[in-house]
Amino acid sequence: MAKIKGRLEIDKERCKGCAVCLTACPFSILELGREVNSKGYNYPRVVDLERCTGCASCATVCPDSCITVYRTKQL
């Protein structure tokens, strides 16, 4: 069976740390990191990339359009 793997690129400088992406992820693979960007907001990081399917739910709900999603199908 083909396995679909996702990859996220997060624009941490544009992020405002609202955490809406965390709750949108069906696999809960995102969390807010301890580091802050130049605006002083904590931005999300991927804690379990293996489980990402590239469904783009996080990017779809992101109000500041900070997330770019890529997907690879592995046969």
Partner 1 sequence: MAEELVYKKPRLLTDKDFHFCPGCSHGTIHKVIAEVIDQMGMENSSIGITPVGCSVLAYNYIDIDWVQAAHGRACAVATGIKRLNPSKLVFTYQGDGDLAAIGTGETIHAANRGDNIVVIYVNNAVYGMTGGQMAPTTLLGMKTVTTPNGRDAKLHGYPFKVGEMISQLEGVCYFTRQSVHTAAGVRRARKALRRAFELSMEGRGLSFVEFVGTCSSGWKMSAVEANKWLDENMLPFYPLSAE
Residues lying near partner 1 in the complex (CB under 8 A) are found at 6-7, 11, 14, 16-20, 22-24, 41, 54-75
CB of 48 to partner 1, least distance (A): 18
Phi/psi at 7 (5° precision):
-145, 140
Q: Where are the beta strands (DSSP E) in the chain?
A: 3-10, 30-36, 42-46, 67-74
CB of 74 to partner 1, least distance (A): 6
CB of 35 to partner 1, least distance (A): 16
Structure tokens at 2: 């083909």
Toward partner 1, which CB reaches closer, 23 or 48? 23
Rg (CA), the chain: 12
